[in-house]
Chains A and B, each alone.
Chain A
Amino acid sequence: MIPLSWYLILSAALFSIGLFGVLSRRNAVAILLGVELMLNAVNINLVSFWRYGDISTMAGQVFAIIVFAVAAAEVAVGLALVISVYRRRDTVIADEIDIMKW
C-alpha cells in the first residue's frame, strides 16, 4: 500500500513550491496564489496524519476544515486589500508599493 512518507514528501514539495511563489513573484495577486498552495500542502499533511493515525478521533479532519475557513477568510480580505491598493496607487506590483504616503 501507500506508505505515509509519500504523502508527507508530496506536501513538503507543494509547500516549497508555494514558498517559492510567495518569495519570488512581483504581482501581489500571484503572491496570494502561492499562499494558497502552502495552505493546501498543510491540509494534505493534516488529513494524511488523520488517516494514518487514529481514525476515530476526528481531530485531523476538523483541523483541516478550520484551515479551509481560515484560508477563505484570508483570501477574501487579502484580495479586498489588493483591489483597494490598486484603486489608490494604480499598481499591484509589490515592489512599487513601498512608501506609506507621498
Chain B
Amino acid sequence: MNFWNNPVQFIAQWLTGVFTGWGMADWAASLLIQLIGVVVLVSMMMVIDIFLVWVERKVVARFQDRLGPNRVGPFGLIQPFADIIKLLIKEDITPDGADKIVYNLAPIMSLMSVLLLWAIVPLAPVIFGVDLNVGALYIIAAGAIGTLSIIMAAWSSNNKYALIGAFRQVAVLVSFEVPMIATLLIPTILAGSMGMNEIVARQDIWFVFVAPLAAIIFMITAIAELGRTPFDMNEAESEIVAGFHIEYTGMKFGLFYAGELLHAFTFGGFWAILFFGGYRLFGLENLGPIVAAVILFAKALFGYWIIMWIKYTLLRIRIDHMLAFNWKFLTPLAFVLLMVVALMNALLRGTSSGVYVLGMLLTNVVLGWIVIEILRLYSRKERERVDGPAAKTLEAHH
C-alpha cells in the first residue's frame, strides 16, 4: 500500500515506526495515533465549517438578488475569518443568576453532537472513522445529545423567553425524530445492514431511484431536526427574540452558529450517503480514496445547497401546524412507506435489477399519488366547509 491507495493506514504505519523508534511502547503509540486521527478529523471539519460560513452568506445573497460579501479578500473569501475575529474579541457575558457550569457546557455539547456524527461517515472505502454496525441509530443518538444541549442552554440562561423557545424547539425535535427513524430504516432494509459502509457498498443503484419518497421524507425531517426554516422555532425573531441562545454572546454564540451550519452540511452528507450512493459515482471512486472523498463532499454540498434553498424560499410554519403536520401526516406516511418498501423488497428480491428498480419506483409513485389524492380530498372538504355557504348563496341568487 502506498500513500495514494490508502493514505490513512500509510501515515499510521509510518507514525508507528517513528514513535516506536523513539522508544514508546506499542499500545501507547497506537493510542497516540488514534488520538491524532481524531484531532485531524475534527480540525478538518472545523476548517470546512469556516468555508461553509462563506458559502452560506454568498448563497443567501444570491437568493436575495444581491452579491454578498465581496470586499474582504477575493470574492469575500476572508470574510469568515473577519467574523471569527469579531466573535473572539467580544465581551464574554454570563448573565446574572445563570448556572455557570451548565451555561458554559451547553454550546460545547451542541457542537460536540455534530462532530460525533463524522465518526461514522465513510469518506472513501478505506477512509472512515469507525465502521459501526448500528450507524443509523447512532445518528439519532447524536441528535438526542443536541436536543439536550438546547434544554441546558435555555435553562441555565435564567430567561423566560429562552425557556419558551427551547420548549417549542425540543417539542419539534422530539416529534420529528419518529418519522426520521422510520425513513432511516428504509436504506437499512434495502441494504441489509445499519452500518454506513455497508449501505454505500450496496448502492449499485442509488437508493433515491428505488425509494424516492423516503429521500423526500428524510430531507423534511432532517430540516426539522436542524432547526432551519420552515421549522425554525429557535430563531423565530418576530416571536421570541432569539430563542434559546438569547443570552449567549461572542464565541459561545459562534459555537452554536457554526454548529448549526456544520449540522446542515452533515445532514447533507448523510442524505448523500443514504440515498445518493455516498462516495460512489459510476466507478470513479476506484481512482483513489482522495477522489472518493471529493465526490462525497460534492454530494454533501449539493444536499446542503438544497437545505439552503428551502430555507431561503419558504416561510416559517406555525408551531401547531408543524406538530399536526408531523403527527397526522408524516408519521403515518413514513410507517406506511416502511411497510410497503419492506413488502416490495421481499417480493422483488430475487428478480433482475431492472425489474427490481422499476417495481420499487412504481410502488413509490403509486403511494405518492394516493397521498396526493387523499390530500386533495381533504382540502376539498376543508374548502367546502369554509366557502360552502357562500357558494351556495351565490347559486341561489342565480
Does A touch B (CB under 8 Å) in the complex? no
The residues of B with any CB-CB pair to A shorter than 8 Å are none
A contact set with B: CB distance below 8 Å: none
